[in-house]
Structure 1
Amino acid sequence: MQAQPALTEPSVAISVVSHGQCGLLAPLLAQLQAISASLPMQIILTLNLPEGRPEITQTECFEVVWIENQQPKGFAENHNAAFAYCRAPYFCVLNPDVRLDGGSLPPLLECLARSPGVAGPRVIAPAGTVEDNARRLPSPLRLLSRWWLRRFESDYSPVVLEQQVDWMAGMCLVFDRATYQDVGGFDTRYRLYCEDVDVCLKVHLAGRYVTWVQAGVVIHDAQRASHRHWRYLAWHVGSLIKLYTSATYWRFRFSNRCTAM
């Protein structure tokens, strides 16, 4: 048996969950392995559905941990389980349909070193437009207005290099380890949607920072399943109801941090 290489202490642990998405996972892993030459990382890969493992070579700067679920789990439960394996000072939640390069993650880590909490990148669609991953608190009126006017751009200006925002979408979020642990990670009561809203509000309420960082850029080919399938739409609505009736939502809404009344 070939001996495994001695592992370098990782700068960041990256949790990726695949739902039978090997076709998306393989190119992402190749990108991450290339980046690990300058940014040592620990990759925690969760196969939420039965599928073959993409071929990947572990190196001293590229540690790979595999989790294979016997039964499918939700977004929150999967990433919380991955965090138990984290041995880096920063923990990144990353969708398999995100693409990045060597300049994507360092600005987020540098931001968190100054402002602990959670940091998110500028997210670009394949067409080159800025996605709406940084948003204000989702009140019912605000959501109705977005859908009625068909306006899905970010609620914040991408001109500001670093800014505090109410919340950021969960396709790419980086936490410092202490913050993720202190807020309890993602709330497993949500099913697929609003876990990212909830965790960002908890970070705010813990007195830490939710920062949108323009220097970190990733590309995301958004699936937006809730726009096409009634089952996902029903889950989305159910999660919104949980959010609107949660103590976290109302504590944040009536705090000085709230900008969406």
Structure 2
Amino acid sequence: MITVSIVSHLHGHMLAPLVAHLLGFAQVQKIVLTLNVPEALELPQSSRITLVYNDAPKGFGANHNAAFRHCETPFFCVLNPDVQFLDNPLPALSERFEQNNVALVAPLVLTPDKQVEDSIRHFPHPVSLLLKALKRDNGAYPLPADRQDFEPDWVAGMFMLFRADDYRRINGFDEGFFLYYEDVDICVRVHAAGRRIVACPSVQIVHAAQRASHSDTGFRKMHLASMRRYFTRDWRRLFAFRLR
């Protein structure tokens, strides 16, 4: 059974269809919906929904860590409010945890026009960031022709399905990241703990990415601050992981 955590920051218009979909999935035992700022909602009525109202906005990691305190299920899913489902991805993704040492599983993410997003990537490093800035390489893994599972460096935070015990063991997200790079950081720590991350290209969801940091100065500053924190805090762990 799965606890799903969703954080809304004025995403109310997206939530009713998403929550209705989730309530139709037998694997979903609880949906923890956090309202990061006040907003009006029209949601399906269900005892499986727990609403959390923030007095002040929190960061991505802090919100999901707070939601995890409501988790009493074996699995914990971090989900963006702007995700759409083609079908129920949870049975297939849950099967991957039957393998040894799997802590985190993620599907392939598509754009609304069904193009593959760059949600499964190699860890960032100075050269890769330069290549990305030059539009030479975005760091994404090429998809296996047979769409078989593989083990990437990191997966993006719009959909992350964790074994709850592993999320607890690594203390969840680093709340020092307010926004951006917290998904990279938690994947570094999953690897450092000797656990596995599995990407499942045969399982697909749709995500309408906002890419706010590309056009908004405030978001761009947060992106750069998170990047600095990642390289300051994770570089040593990442180097040790690469030496294995």
TM-score, length of structure 1 as denominator length: 0.88
| Post-superposition offset of 1:153 | 7.1
- Contact in 2 for aligned 1:107/1:215 (Cα 8 Å): no
Deviation larger for 227-236 or 113-122: 113-122
- Contact map agreement 2:3 2:28 (CA 8 A) in 1: no
The residue type paired with residue 229 of structure 2 is K
- Displacement of 1:93 in angstroms is 0.2
Identity of aligned residues (%): 36
SS of equivalent to 1:122: strand
Match of 1:229 in 2: 216
Alignment of 1:74 onto 2:34: no
Which residue does the alignment assign to 1:5?
A: none
1:91 and 1:156 map into 2 onto residues whose CA distance is: 27
Does the residue aligned with 1:79 lie in a helix, a strand or coil? helix
CA distance in 2, matches of 1:82, 1:257: 35
2: CA distance, partners of 1:141 / 1:256: 16
> What is the number of residues matched between the two proteins?
242
For residues 139-187 of structure 1, what are the alpha-carbon distances to aligned partners after superposition, in whole Å with 9 as ceiling and x for unaligned? 0210110121264472242434111111111000000011000000000
Q: Aligned pair 1:56/2:41, yes or no? A: no
- Aligned CA RMSD, in angstroms, stands at 1.7
CA distance in 1, matches of 2:42, 2:83: 17
Compute the displacement of 1:114 (Å): 1.7
Match of 2:230 in 1: 243
Unaligned runs of 5+ in 1: 1-10
User: Which whole-Å deviations, capped at 9, do the CAs of 1:32-58 have from their partners, x for residues lacking one?
Assistant: 1222xx324210000000012322121
Which residue is 2:108 aligned to? Answer: 122
SS at match of 2:241: coil
Corresponding letter in the other structure for 2:40? G
Assess if the C-alpha contact under 8 Å between 2:170 and 2:190 holds in 1: yes
What is the match of residue 194 of structure 2?
Answer: 207
Shift of 1:104: 1.4
Question: SS where residue 94 of structure 2 aligns?
Answer: helix
Describe how 1:93-108 pairs up with structure 2 within 5 A: 93-108=78-93
Corresponding residue SS for 1:108: helix
Q: What CA distance in whole angstroms lies between the structure 2 residues aligned with 1:40 and 1:231?
A: 35
Aligned equivalent of 1:192, options 179, 202, 217:
179
Contact in 1 for aligned 2:7/2:34 (Cα 8 Å): yes
Pairwise CA distance, 1:99: 0.6
Q: 2:132 aligns with which of 138, 146, 153?
A: 146
Residue from 156, 159, 162 that aligns with 1:172: 159
Aligned residue for 1:17? 7
Q: Distance in 1 between matches of 2:58 and 2:241?
A: 33
